[in-house]
Amino acid sequence: MNRIFVTDGYWRKTLAVVRGLAEKDLKIGIGERTHFAPALFSRYAHRKYVYPSVAQKPAEFIAWLEETVKKDKYDVLITPEEETELLIAANKKKVEQFIKVAIPDYEKIVYARDKFQIFKQAKKLKISTPDTGFVSSFKSIKNNLNNLQYPLVLKPRVGTGSKGIKYLCNNDDFEQLEEGLFKKYGDFLIQEYIPGDECYGVSVIFNRKSKMRSAFVHKKIRQYPITGGVSTYAVSVKYPELVVLAEKMLQSIGWYGVANIEFKIDKRNNIPKLMEVNPRFWGSLHLAVKSGINFPYLLYQLALTGDIDTVFDYQEGIKLRWLVQGDLLNFASSLAKKHAINWKFFKFYEKDLHYAVLSLSDPMPILGKILSLIDYCTSEEMRQFHD
């Protein structure tokens, strides 16, 4: 039986990877830089590891990984989190000498996470995006304030989730921005705000020849932050037009492995606008698995062979809720902004509803999630990458 090593045990998407692989009765080793990680508490963890910090001790991590993989005889490596994926990609030739991995080359990942480059590529492909400008300082924004039409969105050129994103409705909002914003996040994009509530994620996997082998679409029903962020409640849907756009984008840059592309429907004209590319597994991964597309297992097969059979059929109407802590934060934020109480929050049981962390068959990760808050409170590194 093949053995799989999965990094980044802190994240809910990693727990989804572990549970997806466990459905195929595979042996799974799980690691993280701390004992306080939800996936390490899973009953499906065959072995558990605490390894050197990927961010602070990258060379030590690579050395540790090689020693561990050889000693415990792992065949395939899966890296759900972007920073770990980048490190493995940067050392891909070395890593592939001792374990199989299905990720793009380093340059492809760097390109895909650069929103400015992605929007330029989308324009070439005639894929609609928000009107976007590039700014590298407060001065460059101020010089263009008279030419900007509010509302606007200021977002880091490279970033994940909602970190660093600011919404500007008038000049006063601009004056409230922190002086250290550019120092903290680097260059920014300034974009028109796309009105509407319809947000979708298109999740895909491509083979070594950059051919799409599977695709899945989910609609965000609730998000955190409520202005736009990761889904806290989502449902599986079919939206072929978005799949075509995602395939067009990723094929044009020679993609390999998994990715997720986010779209928002502009309510002014009903045109889908590409918002960003996530060159990795996504937070609502468990929804795809429960809907019938087991992306973790597909990625495992892809790492072994370089290609897989196509899988495009899945169930619509399957729902996923990230209650702890995503939906709780969504609810609290709505109350803080004096929105009407969303009574649907209290609907804890529905047909075809699954939970991202909570599971009767695998209950202990919720304890790991609670304990991980200790690490979050004491570790600057974990606060930096927290989802």
Length of the chain: 387
- Residue 328's pLDDT band, with cuts at 50, 70 and 90, is very high
Do residues 232 and 321 both lie within one domain? Answer: yes
**What is the mean predicted confidence (pLDDT) over 287-296?**
98
Q: Which CATH number belongs to the domain containing residue 171 in this structure?
A: 3.30.1490.20
- The band of 173, judged by pLDDT with boundaries at 50, 70 and 90, is confident
Question: How do residues 5-35 score in pLDDT, each as one tens digit?
Answer: 999 999 999 999 999 999 999 999 999 999 9
CA distances for 276 relative to 93, 192, 299, 381, angstroms: 28, 14, 22, 24
Percentages (nearest 5) of helix, strand, coil residues in the chain: 40, 25, 40
Residue 137 and residue 139: Cα distance in Å, rounded?
A: 5
In this predicted structure, the answer to whether residue 383 has a pLDDT above a threshold of 60 is no
Between the two ends of the chain, the Cα-to-Cα distance in Å is: 33
Q: Are residues 182 and 237 in the same domain?
A: no
Q: What is the residue-averaged pLDDT of the chain?
A: 93
Determine, yes or no, domain membership for 122: no
Nearest to 279 by CA among 186, 158, 376, 179: 158
Question: Does 386 score more than 70 pLDDT?
Answer: no
111 found inside a domain? no
Question: What is the average pLDDT across 363-369?
Answer: 94
Do 163 and 68 sit in the same domain of this protein? Answer: no
Instruction: Clarify whether residues 269 and 347 are in a common domain.
Output: yes
- Indicate the number of domains in the chain: 3
Give the C-alpha separation, 382 to 387, whole Å. Answer: 9
Please check whether residue 103 is in contact with residue 78, taking contact to mean a CB–CB distance below 8 angstroms.
Answer: no
Q: Which amino acid is at 123?
A: K
Give the pLDDT confidence of 198-256 residue by residue, as tens digits: 999 999 999 999 999 999 999 999 999 888 889 999 999 999 999 999 999 999 999 99
Residue 368 lies in a domain: yes
Q: Sheet of 27-32: strands edge to edge?
A: 47-50, 27-32, 3-6, 76-78, 100-101
Residue 119 lies in a domain: no
Range of the domain at 243: 199-355
In a domain, 118, yes or no: no
Using CA of residue 364, residue 366, residue 372, residue 377, what is the dihedral sign? negative
Looking at the structure, do residues 255 and 320 belong to the same domain, yes or no? Answer: yes
Residues 328 and 250 in one domain: yes
Same domain, 64 and 162: no
Q: Are residues 231 and 377 in the same domain?
A: no
Q: CA-CA distances (angstroms) from residue 83 to 75, 167, 195, 262, 278?
A: 21, 26, 31, 20, 12
- How much is the average pLDDT of 114-119? 96
pLDDT, average across residues 110-134? 96
Q: How far, in Å, CA of 201 to CA of 367, rounded?
A: 29
Q: What percent of the chain has pLDDT over 70?
A: 97
Domain final residue pick, 166, 192, 218 = 192
Residue 387 has pLDDT above 70, yes or no: no
Give ∠ CA 81-301-52 in degrees, rounded to 5. 30
pLDDT, residue 381, reads 64
Q: 318 and 239 share a domain?
A: yes
Answer with the one of 162, 192, 222 that is the final residue of a domain. Answer: 192
Do 205 and 345 lie in one domain? The reply is yes
Say which residue the tokens 């169930």 belong to.
315
Instruction: Identify the helix (H) or strand (E) that includes residue 171.
Output: helix 171-175
Residue 304 lies in a domain: yes
Q: Which of 169, 192, 215 is the last residue of a domain?
A: 192
User: Are 337 and 376 found together in one domain?
Assistant: no
CATH of the domain at 376: 3.40.50.20
Residues 138 and 82 in one domain: no
Q: 74-100 pLDDT, tens per residue? A: 999 999 999 999 999 999 999 999 999
265 to each of 161, 193, 196, 199, 245, how far by Cα in Å? 19, 12, 7, 7, 13
Residue 323 CA from chain centroid, whole number:
17
Asked if residue 377 has pLDDT above 80, the reply is no
Phi-psi region for residue 210, left (φ > 0), alpha (ψ -120 to 50) or beta?
left
Q: What pLDDT shows up at residue 336?
A: 85
Are the C-beta atoms of 164 and 184 separated by less than 8 Å? yes
Q: What is the mean pLDDT of residues 122-137?
A: 94
Residue 64 lies in a domain: yes
Q: Judge whether 78 lies within some domain.
A: yes
Which of 109 and 167 is assigned the larger pLDDT?
109
Q: pTM for the whole thing? A: 0.94
CATH number of the domain bearing residue 323: 3.30.470.20
